[in-house]
Structure 1
Amino acid sequence: MQDSAPPPEPQENGVVADAYSRNWVDLYAPAATRPYLRLSRADRPIGTWLLLIPCWWGLSLVMLYDGQTSWGDLWIFVSCGIGAFLMRGAGCTWNDITDRDIDAQVARTRSRPIPAGQVSVKGAAVWMTIQALISFAILLTYNAAAIRLGVLALIPVAIYPFAKRFTWWPQVFLGLAFNWGALLAWTAHTGRLDAPAVVLYLAGIAWTLFYDTIYAHQDTEDDALIGVKSTARLFGENTNHWLRRFLVATVGLMGIAVIFSTVNSVSVPALGAAIVGPWAMGWHMAWQLRGLDIHNSDKMLQLFRVNRDTGIIPLLFFGLALLL
């Protein structure tokens, strides 16, 4: 029989254990809003970046693909940022509702607002609904194809929190959800979904397997005790070898997406600039592997967080290609 979980460890002013030190929520947000902002991970912005970056990949590549830019693309760029913040918040709230009993048994997550008693399940559900409705209002400003695609995104979002209960590969479901923006931004620009966007989406999933396996290594001991599955537990001491495979898949698939998007539509210098993006991203991922220590939780969190820069690197080269 499962032993009852120990009470949540007290955190100063309700601060979550793995939040950024001196983040804006803990420093400046009104006290009454802090538990809800923490529920949305506003004190941990890396997840918003990881959700947003594939959107910007898709938008950049589709503008190279058809050679068309407009003021509407500026709105797609901005609205993706707003939507990423809101949908990441809604998704994390849903995750914390479904995982509240598991979170209470894991040292790193025990201080989250629901298991710590800062927010009720009902309050969290209301907060999730508010964020989702605002996101839906933004989605309605897109074309019909993008709206349908945006609604479909709810399927992997809904499934993900349960994946670690039935598969050793829950990171695949996270990848399906977190990289949907590559498809959505592409479709919001063109009104249709083309093959390069799908290949880019697959590249993003491989990248998610890379960074979220790193992230999951923080909890392997607790996960083993309570029976939660993850690629970190599955790979164990072979993690480095698997991460190299995900690195190769990310770079290779993104390279194919870039070639398909640019080979018939841009100048040779622009094609060269764009194709350097995946290569440079791969070097940054390889740098992470050199510092990998799966038995050092602090190091794994540090490496996970630098993946914001990993994802921005190809975006810089895509932007340069648009200027050439």
Structure 2
Amino acid sequence: MTEPALRQRGNRAVFGVVFLMVFAFSYSEQVVSGLFPVVSGGGQTMWGIAVVVVDTGVLASVGLMKRVITKADGDAPRLWGWWWAGVVVLLGVDVIRLLPWHSIQLDLLTATVYAAAMGWTTAASLNSDPLALFSTARRVALPTDWQRVRAIVPLVLGTYLCYLAASAFVDYFDVNTMRTLDAATAELIAEMDIPEQMAVLSQLCEGAISPAFFQQIVGVLPVLLLTLGIEFNYFRRTLTDAGQRAATAATVTVMAVGLVGALSTLPWDGRGCDDVLSSWHEYLAFLFAVQGIFTGLATLVWLLVSSTPDVAVDESAVT
């Protein structure tokens, strides 16, 4: 295989790693828990095992892509210790979630460990040393590693907040709130006068998330996108390496999906039995919105913290 063809194949693998980890892996639990009862024809008692199987398949695919990226970079095999450690931790957390233990503290701990393991596994899969994030010497010695690690930091932080949001949705919000009327209640209300029916129906059903949250997201996300694209020249600054291009594309996609998720809730006002989102619609829109807004904010802050000017200023030319 010629060098340009090998490089192109490596670039595709870089995009594959980023998008598989950010989307397929991050949302495997939500997708499987929703689809498993439909596919299996049964309950959700085995969906946790299905999540482990799906995550194993995703990580195996990422491992194959890591080999392609390493070969395209012209490096000897490296960072497999980091990669295997991440795989063990990620699948270990999946197994822990199968156990009947549940508490807010445990959810916070597992989300933190999971996000950290996802971050270093993604970095290692991109053939970049995760320690470049903390070591100046490694950043100087391994500039490509630093470019790729730096590019995925906001995505990992946004995913971490998404994990916390998923736990908060279950632990703090009233997810069992009445969204539709049961037959008995509907019969009782049908016997009331029309004004009474309207008053009762407007108060009886509501969603778990305030509609005002989604309305604010719709207003904030476009501003963040414009700020990143224009004020900080984000898109031009992050197209020098395949890892940076992949992370930029994933960041824009996450924010766009979050905006679409929030927009999809606007036709419903969140109150009244005929005007409440379904639980899955609300849950996914909430996760997409949280991940989109925090990925955008993390990217904005990270640019201020880690970026350097494209061209150094020549002081002798300044009069």
Band the TM-score falls in, shorter-chain normalisation: 0.3 to 0.5
- Please say which structure displays the higher CA radius of gyration: 2
TM-score, normalised to structure 2, is 0.39
TM-score, normalised to structure 1, is 0.38
